[in-house]
Structure 1
């Protein structure tokens, strides 16, 4: 009987090449984190230079999030059809073009269109790397690695935020933030090209004409012996499509995970997109506002790491739901609007810790909820439709602020997302 290489990868300790794949995917998500938040760091300068009001700024802040929604759904499905590796490389090219183009924008309409385009690559990247990490990890480390991959987003936001704050403190030109992001994306392209092989699970699920040779090339990179023939295909292989996610076996899971992600990401992006403007409106300068957003992303990173470690010992669903509910309390404390910069930074970091723990905890659920042939499609659909929440968050908060509501009221309204998300997770069929 032909041995199944997936069984060996799942059961045995991870080899250096597998660790390298996970590390590169984490780095690519770090790049995602900076690229998404580049507009947040640049927002005060854009508003000042172009005279943009809060309602219009909310629209600009949401554009790449709308692009991410489309990219996650469309390119996530593409990753199941043509493979993880080519999808990741294509997404990097889109991101590089978008970041350089944003640095040359001459008005709100042009910048909005560019950010919409950039979001396509960012959304597709998140879907493809999530599947790639799950498929190159062994069973013991899969949950932790999936969480660490998403935690790369916060790492990029922290490191990139420190650079962005320095750039803004230097000459105050918001365009430098996008130039920096474009250069880092170009650096990442050869890294991904040389270090990311195609996933064996993806090849076995798709079975292209050269599947055996491609699998053996990947096995050689993992320092494992070749196989002489493909393992038998499953009798009823699910064709990767959006409709398959709503077949009887997956319908309830898809709906509940989508509702949970939509609601929690609405909550999450309220902090990510509005903190710099909130802080500037309190009388602080753009560089100080950037540092408060960095504090929020330190909280994001620590929350992701904490829930990643906790998933090794505790059941996922109660852990995720609990983090979501504590985040609601924490955002209320942030809404008190401390005038001391240190207290403000601490309150937003604590809120971000629990809110992002709730977001990140959904990804291991996604990896377990769908088989290989639907993994990128399922992940892409849930986070893609959920990204509608990421676009809604800045828009809703901007409308509330423009209507004269205070920070506490806006924060509590946005916190309702955490309550809705925790309820959906509680209703989910156990997949831990």
Structure 2
């Protein structure tokens, strides 16, 4: 890559305010994802009460948007590598607004599940596209930090949105109000993205659509940099997209191990965040109090993301993630061992969130650097898409175990093994940081 190539300039120079704004918006979008995904968790106790459904059925409802996220990450993540990061994000926002609003109108478990599946399509595609945007807007020095901060938006959304959801539940007594609030909040991001998030230079240089030079120069000038006279030579001829590209020699083992690591870790992570409210309610506490315990889990998650983000400036990201996964497995197993007060449940949930979400934040940084620009959103989507099957399997498996008479202590121990397996898989990845080309 030439030193005059805009990607090289972005990689080596300090970040401009507009790059920071784009990363901040991507972080806010991930926070929005965090609230949208966990909205069903806050609503779950009310749904179970109103409709009289058992734990096995509730586990399926809790997992539907996770299944949609997997499909959305695969399909819309690949679309972001074809049509661009920005239009993909806008499309995902429209899907999420529609899905959240429709969920508030559902009258049956089947209809609600369908609307949550639809919402998940947008959430999954959003995560793949925002991960690519942050990686491509950051300089080389701050890339790990920026991606980890972006991932930290997820628990922040759950904290702020969850606190509001708990207030709404307490004030209205209607679980539908959680989805209504989510639809309005999501719609507010559409004009923000249109105004402040341009297409990434890395994507424009790779795909070279009509007007690419003018679009690149507009972004360069806004960042206080000199415009280009001509586009730099292509690094490679664009190829027709194929999932087979991710399993080519030299990249196949990385792809497969990242999928396994993400799959196994998501099983544990989503068991924790999806089942906390219902577990706490079943102990005799009010739904609003149960939502408060989930908020504390996300306080820990946000803290874990921040701490890991800062540590990546001094320590390699992969060993940090492996360590967080091992600690997370231990804490999730401990979560089920006899805690009966709100204070103790909140504390252990907070510690569990610290390690499991810190590991998630670091995983996104590893994934973003494992694929070249031509495959970055698609590769992220592939790993997340297949990995989300683990996310969906976690709440379902826990629901079936509970319905079969398993104790919380046994379920927590078994579900904690997922992130332990993920750490082992990640330790086997022959990881080498790639330039954002």
TM-score (norm 2): 0.97
Partner of 2:70: 69
Aligned-CA RMSD value: 1.2
Q: Distance in 1 between matches of 2:57 and 2:368?
A: 37
Asked if structure 1 preserves the Cα contact closer than 8 Å seen for 2:144 and 2:317, the reply is no
Asked if structure 2 preserves the Cα contact closer than 8 Å seen for 1:2 and 1:227, the reply is no
Give CA deviations for 1:269-315 in whole Å, capped at 9, x if unaligned.
Answer: 00111000000000001000000000000111111111111111111
Deviation of the 1:195 alpha carbon: 0.5
Q: Does 1:6 align with 2:12?
A: no
| Aligned counterparts, 1:182-331, within 5 A | 182-235=183-236, 237=238, 239-331=240-332
Partner of 2:96: 95
Partner of 1:162: 163
Q: Distance in 2 between matches of 1:58 and 1:160?
A: 22
Asked if structure 2 preserves the Cα contact closer than 8 Å seen for 1:144 and 1:308, the reply is yes
Q: Distance in 1 between matches of 2:398 and 2:391?
A: 11
Q: Distance in 2 between matches of 1:308 and 1:2?
A: 28
SS in 1 for 2:297: helix
| Aligned counterparts, 1:403-422, within 5 A | 403-422=404-423
Asked if structure 2 preserves the Cα contact closer than 8 Å seen for 1:22 and 1:149, the reply is yes
Asked if structure 1 preserves the Cα contact closer than 8 Å seen for 2:334 and 2:412, the reply is no
Asked if structure 2 preserves the Cα contact closer than 8 Å seen for 1:365 and 1:431, the reply is no
Give CA deviations for 1:91-122 in whole Å, capped at 9, x if unaligned.
Answer: 00000011111111111111000000000000
Q: Distance in 2 between matches of 1:249 and 1:217?
A: 37
Partner of 2:371: 370
Give CA deviations for 1:406-431 in whole Å, capped at 9, x if unaligned.
Answer: 11100010011112101111100032
Give CA deviations for 1:333-357 in whole Å, capped at 9, x if unaligned.
Answer: 2111311110110011111111112
Deviation of the 1:228 alpha carbon: 1.0
* Displaced runs of 4 or more, over 2 A: 235-241
| Aligned counterparts, 1:353-432, within 5 A | 353-432=354-433
Deviation of the 1:14 alpha carbon: 0.6
Deviation of the 1:172 alpha carbon: 1.2
TM-score (norm 1): 0.98
Give CA deviations for 1:55-102 in whole Å, capped at 9, x if unaligned.
Answer: 110111110000000000111100000100000000000000111111
Q: Does 1:30 align with 2:31?
A: yes
Q: Distance in 1 between matches of 2:125 and 2:136?
A: 17
Partner of 1:120: 121
Deviation of the 1:239 alpha carbon: 4.4
Give the gaps of 5 or more residues in structure 2: none
Q: Distance in 1 between matches of 2:203 and 2:223?
A: 16
Q: Distance in 2 between matches of 1:198 and 1:176?
A: 34
CA distance 1:306–1:238, shift in 2 (3 Å): farther
The aligned length equals: 432
Give CA deviations for 1:170-215 in whole Å, capped at 9, x if unaligned.
Answer: 1210000000000101111111110000000001111113211221
Deviation of the 1:17 alpha carbon: 0.6
SS in 1 for 2:105: coil
Deviation of the 1:237 alpha carbon: 4.9
Asked if structure 2 preserves the Cα contact closer than 8 Å seen for 1:2 and 1:229, the reply is no
Asked if structure 1 preserves the Cα contact closer than 8 Å seen for 2:370 and 2:431, the reply is no
